[in-house]
Amino acid sequence: MTITTCVFDAYGTLFDVAGAARSMAEQPGREEFEKHWQKVASDWRLKQLEYSWLRTVSNTHCDFWDVTKDGLDWALEASGFTNDPVLREDLLALYWELPPYPDGLRTLALLKAQGFKTAILSNGSKDMLDGAVTGAGLESLLDATLSVDDVAVFKPSRKVYDMVGDHFGCTSNEVLFVSSNGWDAAYAAHYGFITVWVNRMGLPMDRLPGTPTHVLSDLTTIPDLAKA
């Protein structure tokens, strides 16, 4: 089956989730935070993901922004920054302006030029995704931005992956799904998508029901894979 539709996860795949903490660490007067920003960024992301999974299995769905705030609160406490409400608010504001990965911009532009349909499929709320897409200037490079808001459950629920076929009217084996999250790529493969795990950090393969079709270190060769 020929690939017709290329779908990307957002956070960590197209947008650098460490960007908010990194930017804060570079600001004057934040020398203490500069010493800890990498741990805060890592803990923040880990708790954001863990809370989304727990919300899914416990049937206690909430807006992804709430999960994001809860994850940051845990991360700040773990690094001793509980008494700095300004830091918290500034980090949350920066999360709405996460920098895009340069290889993502180039890849989306090439895919559109080659005639593929392109989309984001994300746990992010509609408002968060709209802000990220607009801030990165991706509007013209995407045919759709699909948020779990419409199904009220987070990945890796099959209801989320169903959204692609429902929106585009395509079968699962027409979809090339791209994620930097190994668990996301694995479950998308188990669902039936052709998948790419963008393993930017050189991590081991997750032991899960599905196995990503391809493993890459960045997004640059995605257009070649889609054509092939």
pLDDT in tens, 2-30: 999 999 999 999 999 999 999 999 999 99
Kindly indicate whether the domain formed by 19-95 is annotated with CATH number 1.20.120.1200.
Answer: no
Q: 165, 199, 171, 174: which is closest to 185 by C-alpha?
A: 199
**Percent of the residues in the chain that have a pLDDT greater than 70, as a whole number:** 100
Mean pLDDT value across residues 132-145: 94
- Structure-token match 């007067």, residue found: 29
**Sheet of 144-147, strands arranged across:** 144-147, 117-122, 5-8, 175-179, 194-198, 214-216
Mean pLDDT value across residues 136-148: 95
**5-15+98-227 CATH fold:** Rossmann fold (3.40.50)
Looking from the CA of 37 toward its CB, the CA atoms found within 13 Å total 18
Mean pLDDT value across residues 209-222: 96
Cα separation, 196 vs 188, in Å, equals: 9
123: pLDDT confidence band, cut at 50, 70 and 90? very high
User: What is the pLDDT of the chain when averaged over all its residues?
Assistant: 96
Q: What is the pLDDT of residue 212?
A: 97
Query: In the predicted model, is pLDDT for residue 228 greater than 90?
Result: no
Beta strands, E only, the chain: 5-8, 117-122, 144-147, 175-179, 194-198, 214-216
How many other CB atoms are there within 10 angstroms of residue 173's CB atom? Answer: 12
How many other CB atoms are there within 10 angstroms of residue 58's CB atom? Answer: 8
Domain-wise residue ranges, the chain: 5-15+98-227, 19-95
CB 210 within 8 A of CB 187: yes
Omega cis (within 30) before 204: no
Looking from the CA of 171 toward its CB, the CA atoms found within 13 Å total 5
Q: Residue 45: in which H helix or E strand, if any?
A: helix 31-57
Q: CB-based burial of residue 15 (10 Å sphere; 0-12 exposed, 13-18 middle, 19+ buried)?
A: buried
- The pTM of this model reads 0.94
Q: What is the pLDDT of residue 226?
A: 93
Q: What is the pLDDT of residue 1?
A: 67
9 is an active site residue: yes
Mean pLDDT value across residues 22-44: 96
Pick the catalytic residue from 9, 16, 43, 184. Answer: 9
Mean pLDDT value across residues 156-173: 97
Give the tokens for residue 203: 């991590």
Query: In the predicted model, is pLDDT for residue 61 greater than 80?
Result: yes
